[in-house]
Amino acid sequence: QQCSDAVRAAFSAHVLVCWFFILAATISTLGNRHILTHVLPSSSLVMLMQNIINIIFLWICKSLGIITCRKISVNVNILMAETSFNDLCVAVLYTMNILFGLGSLQFLTVPVFNTLKRVTTLFIWLGEYMLLQSHGALSCLPPLLVMVAGTMIVGIFDLTFNGTGYLCAFVSSLAQAGAMVWTKKSGREKGHGHEGKVHSHSNQVWATLYFNSMVSSVLMVFVIVLRKEWTALQQFPTDNALGASALLLLNAISIIV
């Protein structure tokens, strides 16, 4: 009886966590769509602002002792010493995922975007099958193919079809899957012992977010300069600057979550 209660409690906790992340992802997607439509019509500028907020948030958490990861530092030597080639590859894929995802939202409705992003699961499966030789997951293939078929049906009957939006969504999905498979392949989540593993994984999550945000910020500056996207700042709603800034902040926090 005690074992059964423990299993039910663990299951309930996992379901609650799943619903929490679904809610956070939904808020993030809707927030990005609203920001790109009504606040700042530049995916590169929006991403740069989100990255800056992420970095400041992590600095504050480390200064307060909430996060103890050594890699979260303004010292370039420490940052580079703690960084590997795999970290850089994951950061580039992370940037592509977010940038193309934001770009897609400028052309697609949120329901269509969310439907297309489901293809990420298939890309992850393919990556694990080819790179990690995860042949034990063959039983997952039929439902994945059904999901892809549903995505194709949505595309066929999408009256607002936009090729650029679809392409950006698929590139975003591919980059997201690549980052996840690459992370798993490089073994960055390995630890020693249960407590050590949990602590190491927690630090690694924050370190990855920090490094991804740093690399992404540098790349976004180049993109903004090359495409002269700073002109989009002229469309920022100065009559409601406080509300628009609060929306950017809340959306960045939802992405961190």
pLDDT of residue 42: 82
Domain count, the chain: 1
Rounded Cα gap, residues 83 and 68, in angstroms: 17
Residue 80 confidence class, pLDDT cut points 50, 70, 90: low
At 68-79, the pLDDT tens digits run 777 777 666 666
Residue 188's nearest CA partner among 210, 177, 203 is: 203
Amino acid at 85: F
Q: Six-digit token pair at 62?
A: 């480390």
Quickly count: other Cβ atoms within 10 Å of residue 221's Cβ: 12
Instruction: List the domain range (segments joined by +) for residue 160.
Output: 2-256
Tens digit of each residue's pLDDT (9 = 90 or more) over 139-188: 677 777 777 777 677 666 666 778 898 899 999 999 999 988 888 877 64
For residue 119, CA distances in Å to 136, 147, 152, 207, 222 come to 20, 8, 10, 27, 29
Q: At what angle do helices 110-117 and 119-131 cross, to 10 degrees?
A: 20
pLDDT of amino acid 195: 43
Task: Please say whether the beta carbons of 252 and 53 come within 8 A.
Answer: yes
Q: Which pLDDT score is estimated for 254?
A: 62
**What confidence category does residue 132 fall into, taking pLDDT thresholds of 50, 70 and 90?**
confident
Query: Taking the model in full, what pTM does it have?
Result: 0.73
